[in-house]
Structure 1
């Protein structure tokens, strides 16, 4: 498999972002984190990762974002759709799109090249892979961490905002996600929309996360895998005031 095209989703949700408004910023990717626009941090990590060939930045406000991005031939910027899933659907439908794709978000301010490489290794062999962090790993380092957790087997997991779309078959998984995106913060609803057998398997702790991913992938006709990240920082994005405070403290060496 050749180098990944990294897709950096750098837009705002419809209706704006409460965190950005609370900090006096009207466009979330430009939110200051440890002295610079947030979007620059994951962008640097992607450019430094050996498995990434180029970075496509997708945003609703191309001119504003272009003004802060570095001048690098590997970086290009294009206009995005209104939501994450709609943006990916449009990208996957474009004839010029080349696989594999690595997708992450502008609020992944703690992303590192090492995380990218770990995820890519774990995603090998699947059509679609999703990065997650276990609750055990997170609470071991940050006992007070508040995340959205989904239970699979004996463990709970939170998303790491890392997605590998290795083949065109991944489009089926993205399209399915469009139907459940509005419930992404309500774990039981997400599980229920996967279908009753998978829902009950997760609730009754019969299937672990790998078995659930494989079974859901079979329903969609693709190879779906979950990559459990070793570093719990992979699951910390900047979505709430407490996240912003924690990420800033981590980057400044205070946490």
Structure 2
């Protein structure tokens, strides 16, 4: 399976990471001798399955700081969904697209290829990885993530998404509304359904039921991928994450 890729790098560095690195954009936070987004671009380039790459980032801010030969640079539009749609305008609609955030610097070509191999085993419109807690902690000592307890185990979500561009125009408004309500618990509960939320709280949901709920909610064929690569779920969004990434990516 050969796919194209989108890397989202439009966020200003105004959160907790600002305390430890003054970079204007999150993707420009330094890890060793490179900005964080460079690791993501390099990991994608190492993959044997990635075709064209579109980077959504402020051209005058991020562009001069990275090596981006052959990468199409698109300015951000604001909302994450608008950024994805802007990037898709530069890619053909007949090939699936791998969407990555700029804050997963531990990914490598091996990780990307492995995730795509898992996705190729199923037919779906949108693929979303989850990583079991024991897998993440076994490979990356000291990693701190937000976990959800499901019937099969305790999982954290990933920051790689594989999607069929053909669904973009239909599903974009639904995902936008879902994301906009994610910090309003009562509104989110109303969207998901109270019985679903109760089962989630009681830890009686399965991965299949989670997959079916999101598929029905967005009107697509979704696939939740139980992924053995914790790198897809280790996003750098707080100082302890940055410390971990710097420790594991430090040159010997």
Q: Check whether TM > 0.5.
A: yes
* 1:84 corresponding residue in structure 2: 80
Q: Residues 146 and 186 of structure 1: is their aligned pair in 2 closer, same or farther, counting only changes over 3 Å?
A: farther
Aligned pairs for 1:213-252 within 5 A:
213-252=211-250
Aligned pairs for 1:44-59 within 5 A:
44-59=42-57
- How far has the Cα of 1:229 moved from its partner? 1.6
- How far has the Cα of 1:31 moved from its partner? 0.8
Count of aligned positions: 249
> Are 1:69 and 2:66 counterparts?
yes
- More displaced stretch, 83-92 vs 111-120: 83-92
* 1:113 corresponding residue in structure 2: 109
Following the alignment from structure 1 to structure 2, what is the Cα–Cα distance between the partners of residues 174 and 165? 12
Following the alignment from structure 1 to structure 2, what is the Cα–Cα distance between the partners of residues 155 and 170? 31
Does the 8 Å CA contact 1:148/1:187 hold for their aligned counterparts? no
Following the alignment from structure 2 to structure 1, what is the Cα–Cα distance between the partners of residues 171 and 201? 22
Following the alignment from structure 2 to structure 1, what is the Cα–Cα distance between the partners of residues 187 and 196? 12
* 2:5 corresponding residue in structure 1: 6
Following the alignment from structure 1 to structure 2, what is the Cα–Cα distance between the partners of residues 209 and 171? 27
State the TM-score, normalizing by the size of structure 2. Answer: 0.85
Structure 2: where are the runs of 5+ without partners? Answer: none
State the TM-score, normalizing by the size of structure 1. Answer: 0.84
- How far has the Cα of 1:105 moved from its partner? 1.1
Note the aligned Cα RMSD (angstroms): 2.8
Q: Residues 109 and 95 of structure 1: is their aligned pair in 2 closer, same or farther, counting only changes over 3 Å?
A: closer
Q: Residues 100 and 232 of structure 1: is their aligned pair in 2 closer, same or farther, counting only changes over 3 Å?
A: same
Following the alignment from structure 2 to structure 1, what is the Cα–Cα distance between the partners of residues 65 and 20? 22
- How far has the Cα of 1:186 moved from its partner? 8.5
Work out which structure has the larger RCO, using CA pairs closer than 8 Å and 6 or more positions apart in sequence.
Answer: 2
Q: Aligned with 2:210: secondary structure? A: helix
Does the 8 Å CA contact 2:127/2:222 hold for their aligned counterparts? yes
CA displacement 1:187-244 (0-9 Å, x = unmatched): 9986664233432343344431233112320343211011122122321121111011
